[in-house]
Amino acid sequence: MSKNLIIYYSRKGENYFGGDIRSVPKGNTEYVAEYISEAVGGDLFEIETVREYSKDYMECTREAKDELSNKARPELKRYLDSIDGYDNVFICGPCWWGTYPMAVFSQIEKIDWTGKKVFPVMTHEGSGLGSSVRDLRNACKGASVDSDLAIEGSSAAGSSAKVSKWAKGCVE
């Protein structure tokens, strides 16, 4: 049986929901990552930065824009050194200025991807997958980047059935 890994980044704190800013204890992408794990099994690995991004939405967008412009690779609390033993890797994150947060690249650039199947997953508020698929193809050398999924952030908590159907199709 193939083995699945779900790597995700998700930010708690203020976020936009249909035009309103609300503070949430759990980020949108975390719901989706958990739904994947419930649907197909697999280990969850949460990417967490040493320096937290601002809980304030607007301030966080500024921090993220700076990191993107500088191609920053923020330090993480812990790293996965290897994904040996896994066949399928779901890489889940929010769309930040059109791609994954730079912290996702801090992790994925450290891994040998040879022979793995990668499934890009992004939550967003309009940009869909942005350039995430292309960016993963560049970062995950030797992997095949396969089926992908974009979920609107404000519907993430209620996306269990959609995510489950898609994830099961990926690992068949």
Binding residues for ligand FMN, rule: CB under 6 A, are 10-11, 15-16, 27-30, 60-61, 64, 94-98, 123-127, 153
Measured from the CB atom, the residue of 88 and 159 that comes closer to ligand FMN is 159
CB atoms within 10 A of CB 40: 20
Least gap, CB of 94 to ligand FMN (angstroms):
3
Least gap, CB of 112 to ligand FMN (angstroms):
27
Least gap, CB of 114 to ligand FMN (angstroms):
29
Least gap, CB of 139 to ligand FMN (angstroms):
18
Measured from the CB atom, the residue of 16 and 79 that comes closer to ligand FMN is 16
Q: Which residue is nearest to ligand FMN (CB)?
A: 153
* Angstrom distance (rounded) from CA 36 to CA 73: 26
For 153, the token pair is: 């952030």
Measured from the CB atom, the residue of 36 and 113 that comes closer to ligand FMN is 36
Least gap, CB of 100 to ligand FMN (angstroms):
10
Measured from the CB atom, the residue of 10 and 37 that comes closer to ligand FMN is 10
Measured from the CB atom, the residue of 64 and 145 that comes closer to ligand FMN is 64
